[in-house]
A and B are shown apart, each in its own frame.
Chain A
Amino acid sequence: MDKGDGLDRGKKSKPSDQLKLTEAELKENITKVLNTHNPHAPQNIVRFNYKEGVYQRVSVDHTAILFEMESNIVYQDSEEGRRLILSKSTFLASLFFDLSQATPVEDGGEVEEAEEEDRPDSVASKADKKGVKLGNFFHFTDRATQTLNNPPRQINCQTAPPPRSIFSATANQWQIYDAYCEELQKQEKQKATLLKKETDKSKKGVLVTETQSTDLTEVAKETKILERMVHQNTFDEIAQDFKYFEDPSDKFRGQEGTLLPLWTFQHEETRGLSVTALCWNSKYQDLFAVGMGSYDFCKQGRGMIVFYSLKNSSFPEYVFPTTSGVQCLDIHPQHFYLTVVGFYDGCVAVYNLKKKSLEPVCKGTPKTSLLTNPVWQVRWQNDDIDNNHNFFSVSADSRVVSWTLIKHELISTETIRLSVNGGLSNVPDDEQLVNISGGTSLDFHKQTDHLFLVGTEQGKIHKCSIHYSSKFLKTYNAHNSAVYTVKWNHFHPRVFISCSADWTVKIWDDTIKVPVFTFDLMSAIGDVAWAPYSSTIFAAVTIDGIVRVFDLSINKYEAICQQLVVAKKKTKLTHIEFNPVHPVIIVGDDQGLVSSFKLSPNLRKTPKVRSQNSKDLSIRKNPSLK
């Protein structure tokens, strides 16, 4: 028990903490027992038993399975083993009955016994005895082979996708309609091409012009409409007044009426010219023609024909400059695009508005005379038998000439020659010159076509007829000086009005040589006109710038309206015309300005229509006649 320091050779060393026992204790035999208790198995496992509700000790199995293998080995000595051995041996015995020297079945028991004795190595002994392998018919063997599998392969083919486009459309009523129209057109074209083959050329022509062009000519119409739209906006109030305004103060004014100023029409190029003629268009009632010229004998020069529309007062629709001053014009009542103009130099011309040129269609000069004989009045007449247009003119050379328009040429025929004595007189030339008086105005009867009135420079009015070229039907010693205007009444077949340089306006019944009414207007008169809506209303303009409107059914002696219409004091009014449809009058003056006015309600009273129209009117008009 010495402590070993370091190396100890051959000596058994004892560790210091070895248990010290006595010798008796050392000799004590201690038996070691092997048992099957598993020392590792816990002995105090407790589990809660839910059924009984208490903790119960669980016993752990002490058996530890080290190796387990399932097989079919049977123990020899067990019952099953013995049975198996027996069954096997008898089987073998029965099989090899003729081969073996074994006794028949009687000996089976013996065999069995023998076998039982030879039990330990019965099978083996049998096998060793024979030495021949026993084949078995009933033994099967499976044999399998695998054929070669072809590896699968994929072959694909992709086509190019068809081209796609997205299409969208709407089907409205009008699109359907359009489609139908196109179809119809196509069908018609096909029919046409079957019949005529010349249409191919024209089709090509149309195609060419449909290509896009930056030309502005296609917008001509739209430009015009736009200009009018803008104009309407600018003059909106006037347009509203024109259409809707009715002067309410007329109720309080008694019989009198007023003129409401509307648009004024002026063109820069007409400076210096005065209005010498006015005429409304019968078809387009907002269109009127203004003839520009000069009444002054000294200041003769150029002239102009200007067409204005009420829809555009700032710029005329058509402008035709002329070399000589215009003295009169007239628009054909049926062929509204034809205008005939009479000039100061004695020519007449016909203008066609449909044509785009500034030149007249045809021009006619008086046959004779190198002197300037202004044409004072022209009037269209109905087309003659051959449908040629014709008109009449009266000029200062005292002739009433009928012109016929035949294929762009004017052919004149003298209708009548005016002379003081009435009718052609067989007087030698010198005297004839003295006796001839120039005609200053002309008007055809509204109902009877062939009847017309001519006013002369001498102050006489002749009633003539186309059919009688040599004689006057009647002569009236109307005035003391030149008759400026003669006009038949629109309704009454026998009444006409005349105004002259002697400052009077006279109303006549053509059966009576004396005027029925005389109005002295205290001032030189420019023009007089009947109202188209009433047989008793007429208007007169004077050089003092006053428009006078008379209504004979209301007041036989005085005008029911006297209004100063011009701004400048020295402006002379030269012409007046009533619009055939609207209650508007246009007044021309010597500054080249045309003003338009709306007639107030008092001036527009139409006579009551009764069954016997003319009779009533005549009574109303001429109470002195009965």
Chain B
Amino acid sequence: MVRIKLFNRSHVGFISVKKNVTFVQQAEVEDTLKRIEAREDVVGIIIVNLDGVYLRSTLDDALTAQYTKHLDRLTVMARSVVRNIDPEDDLTSLRLRIEKNDKHEIMVEVQYVFIIVRCV
């Protein structure tokens, strides 16, 4: 059985791209990612960009490709659901809990398609 939670954004916002990219920010992001990875619960992190090409992954290639492919489609569908109900809204994140056997949880951030595979 799979449980899915959807999170909405409450306000309308256009995706704004920051012009000035500083190294400090980059380092912070790297740090945060390392911290997440270092947690004992987390199995892996995959960062995918909007085209479906994965930028970074801590899992092996085959698994990453699988996850990316399937979760991409799920994300598109979920986003469609949210936006159909209210077009001004948009999907921000997604949580999938797999309860059989492994008790995994997959967390997907939608804006840049993040995937974390975590074992409960």
Chain A positions within 8 Å of B, measured between CB atoms, are: 172-174, 176-178, 205-206, 209-210, 212, 214-227, 229-230, 233-234, 314-315, 356
Does B11 reach chain A (CB closer than 8 Å)?
no
Which of A176, A205, A226 lies in contact with B116, CB distance below 8 A? Answer: A226
* B112 contact from A222, A224, A227, Cβ within 8 A: A222
Task: Say yes or no: is B22 at the interface (Cβ < 8 Å to chain A).
Answer: yes
Decide: A230 near B17, CB < 8 A? Known: A172-B83, A222-B109, A314-B35: no
When the two chains form the complex, which single residue of B17, B28, B39, B87 contacts A220, counting CB atoms closer than 8 Å?
B28
CB-CB under 8 A for A178 and B35, given A222-B112, A233-B118: no
CB distance from B11 to the nearest CB of A (A): 15
Which chain A residue has the least Cβ–Cβ distance from B87?
A177
Q: Is A229 a contact of B47 with CB atoms below 8 Å?
A: no
In the bound complex, residues from chain B placing their C-beta under 8 Å from that of A219 are 29, 47, 109, 112, 114
Inter-chain pairs besides A226-B109, A226-B116, 6 sampled, C-beta below 8 Å: A209-B17, A216-B56, A217-B26, A222-B109, A223-B33, A230-B36
- In the assembled complex, which residues on chain A have CB atoms less than 8 Å from the CB atom of B95? 229
Q: Are the CB atoms of B107 and A216 closer together than 8 Å?
A: no
The distance from the CB of B107 to the nearest CB of chain A, in whole angstroms, is 5
Q: Is B58 an interface residue (CB 8 A)?
A: no
Q: What's the nearest-Cβ distance from chain A to residue B110, in Å?
A: 8
Chain B nearest CB: distance from A227 CB in Å?
5
Residues of B within 8 A of A178 (CB): 87
> A226 touching B47 by the CB < 8 A rule?
no
Q: Are A216 and B47 in contact (CB under 8 A)?
A: yes
Q: Could you list 7 examples of A-B contacts with CB < 8 Å?
A: A173-B83, A205-B19, A216-B55, A222-B112, A225-B93, A227-B32, A227-B35
A356 pairs with B41, CB closer than 8 A: no
Complex: how many Å from CA A326 to CA B95? 41
Residues from chain A with Cβ under 8 Å of B111 in the complex: 221-222
Chain B residues closer than 8 Å to A356, beta-carbon distance? 22, 24-25
Which bracket fits the contact residues of B?
35 or more
Complex interface: chain B residues within 8 A of A230 (CB): 36, 39, 41-42, 107, 116, 118
Interface residue B8 (Cβ < 8 Å from any Cβ of A): no
Give the contacting residue for A217; candidates B25, B80, B92; CB below 8 A: B25
The answer to whether B84 touches A174, judged by C-beta atoms less than 8 angstroms apart, is yes
A315 to B39, CA, bound (A): 12
Q: Which residues of A contact B51 (CB under 8 A)?
A: 212
A contact patch SS: helix
Contact with A along B13-53 (1 / 0, CB 8 A): 00001110110111011101101100101100001010100
Shortest Cβ distance from A180 into B: residue: B87
**Interface check B88, CB cutoff 8 A:** yes
> A608 vs B52: C-alpha distance in the bound complex, in angstroms?
59
The minimal Cβ–Cβ distance linking A202 to chain B, given in whole angstroms, is 10
B36 and A233 contacting across the interface, CB-CB below 8 Å: no
Q: Residue B105 at the A interface, CB < 8 A?
A: yes
Cβ B17 vs Cβ A206 within 8 A: yes
Cα–Cα, bound, A315→B118 (Å): 19
Output the nearest chain B residue to A315 by Cβ-Cβ distance.
Answer: B35
Measured in the bound complex, the distance between the Cα atoms of B88 and A173 in whole Å is 10
B87 touches A174 (CB 8 A): yes
Question: Is B74 part of the binding interface, using a Cβ–Cβ cutoff of 8 Å?
Answer: no
Q: Which of A174, A210, A221 contacts B17 (CB 8 A)?
A: A210
Chain B hits for A176, CB < 8 A: 87
A268 CB, min distance to chain B CBs, angstroms: 12
B6 at the A/B interface (Cβ < 8 Å)? Answer: no
Note all chain A residues with C-beta closer than 8 A to B116: 226, 229-230
**In the complex, what residues of B have CB within 8 A of residue A226's CB?**
36, 93, 107, 109, 114, 116
Tell me if B105 and A233 are in contact (CB < 8 A).
yes
A442 to chain B, nearest CB (A): 35
Q: A172-B80, A172-B83, A234-B41 given as contacts; is B22 within 8 A of A220 (CB)? A: no
Q: Are the CB atoms of B109 and A220 closer together than 8 Å?
A: no
A507 to chain B, nearest CB (A): 43
Minimum C-beta distance from B30 to chain A (A):
7
CB of A211, distance to nearest CB on chain B (Å): 10
A551 CB → nearest B CB, Å: 38
Q: Find chain B residues with CB under 8 A from A227 CB.
A: 32, 35-36
Q: Which residues 73-120 in B have Cβ within 8 Å of A in the complex?
A: 80, 83-84, 87-88, 92-93, 95, 105, 107, 109, 111-112, 114, 116, 118, 120
Q: Do the beta carbons of A217 and B84 come within 8 Å of each other?
A: no
Whether A173 lies near B28 (C-beta < 8 A) is no
Closest B residue by C-beta to A234: B41
Give the shortest distance, in Å, between B101 (CB) and chain A (any CB).
18
Q: Is the CB of A222 within 8 A of B83?
A: no
Q: Which among A212, A216, A218, A233 has the greatest number of chain B C-beta atoms within 10 A?
A: A216
Bound form: Cα–Cα A222–B46 in Å = 12
The closest CB in chain B to the CB of A215 belongs to B21
Contact partners of A215 in chain B: CB under 8 A: 21, 26
CB-based nearest A residue for B23: A217
Q: Do A209 and B47 touch (CB < 8 A)?
A: no
A-B pairs, top 4 by smallest CB distance, nearest first, are: A174-B83, A177-B87, A222-B109, A174-B87
Min CB distance, B5 to chain A, in Å? 10
State in angstroms the CA–CA spacing of A306 and B94 once bound together: 30
Q: A209-B19, A230-B107 are in contact. Are A218 and B112 (CB under 8 A)?
A: yes
